[in-house]
A and B are shown apart, each in its own frame.
Chain A
Amino acid sequence: MSPRDLQLELTSDPSELARVRELLGDWCQADGWDEQRRADIVLALDEALTNVIRHGYEGRPGQRIDVTVQHVRDAVRGEGLEITVRDYGRQVPIQSICGRDLRDLQPGGLGVHIIHGVMDSAEYTHAPGGGMRLVMRKYRGGAAGRPARPEPE
């Protein structure tokens, strides 16, 4: 039997991350996701939370982050899960949220690129009343995470 949808109220503390990874990994396992896709999903949420802590709250601890994980069904892509990450921090222009140019060997901006690499979809919007909302989906029939091709030269 599938586990019930998950609702987490977290704070913007890096020490939360390991616990959340473990919790989501267990939930995905109970929901029948294979090891590769479980790892993809857990990585995507970790990266999303890391971005909120770093950029949304600019490193301020103790700020609220809401996470929901729920089952979805798409007419074309079939069954999957949807993770929503909502913060109450700084709103940034949507067009500024993009993976960095991978030809440029610099740290930073990698998280969004990883999220797009391991999930089937990811969309940022401004949340009503302030903050950002990220909705990510992964379908059971979608590809497991691997580098997008073709590679830039």
Chain B
Amino acid sequence: MSDGRHNLDIAVSHDADGTAVIRLDGEIDLRTSPMLHERLIELAAQRPPRFLLELTQVSYMDSSGVGTIVDFKRRLERYGGRLVLVGPQPRVRGVLEITRLDRFFTITATIDEARQR
């Protein structure tokens, strides 16, 4: 029943200091979050010291997305890795606030600000 317009694109690059930058573009829901979860697990297995998860182009996220990011953060913490969420749109930030998980994440407005952390 999918019309093909509602997808999630995941692009990954690495900074010179080993920081992994993940850019998400699309919607995170029960359909797309399993694929995102799988990709994040693969990336966490490489153990970069820090991840910047850019959410600027994420127009929608539900609890399945929140759960995926929480699980990702826990995986990173096991080896001392860090996670910064970058530029969530108000509705995405709102979901984090409703679940009161915003306090558990470092959230910055821009990617440049995230790199300073």
Residue of B at shortest CB range from A151?
Answer: B100
- Is residue A129 contacting chain B, with contact meaning CB distance below 8 A? no
Q: B28-48: contact bitstring with A at CB < 8 Å (1 yes, 0 no)?
A: 011100000000000000000
* A16 in contact with B1 given A102-B99, A110-B99, A151-B100 (CB within 8 Å): yes
- Is residue A56 contacting chain B, with contact meaning CB distance below 8 A? no
- Is residue B27 contacting chain A, with contact meaning CB distance below 8 A? yes
Cα–Cα distance between A151 and B6 once the two chains are bound (Å) = 35
Verify A145–B67 contact, CB threshold 8 A.
no
Nearest chain A CB to B89 CB, angstrom units: 10
- Is residue A135 contacting chain B, with contact meaning CB distance below 8 A? no
**Contact residues of B between 50 and 66, Cβ < 8 Å to A:** 60, 62-64, 66
Residue of A13, A43, A110 touching B67 (CB-CB under 8 A): A110
* A18 in contact with B95 given A107-B66, A110-B66, A111-B63 (CB within 8 Å): no
Interface size class of B (residues with CB under 8 A): 20 to 34
Q: A96-119: contact bitstring with B at CB < 8 Å (1 yes, 0 no)?
A: 000000100111101101100110
Interface size class of A (residues with CB under 8 A): 20 to 34
Cα–Cα distance between A48 and B71 once the two chains are bound (Å) = 21
Verify B71–A107 contact, CB threshold 8 A.
yes
* A13 in contact with B1 given A50-B63, A105-B101, A110-B66 (CB within 8 Å): yes
List the interface of chain B (C-beta within 8 A of A): 1-3, 5-6, 27, 29-31, 60, 62-64, 66-68, 70-71, 74, 91, 94-95, 97-101, 104
The 10 closest A-B pairs by CB, nearest first: A107-B67, A18-B6, A14-B31, A110-B63, A15-B2, A14-B30, A117-B98, A111-B63, A102-B100, A50-B30
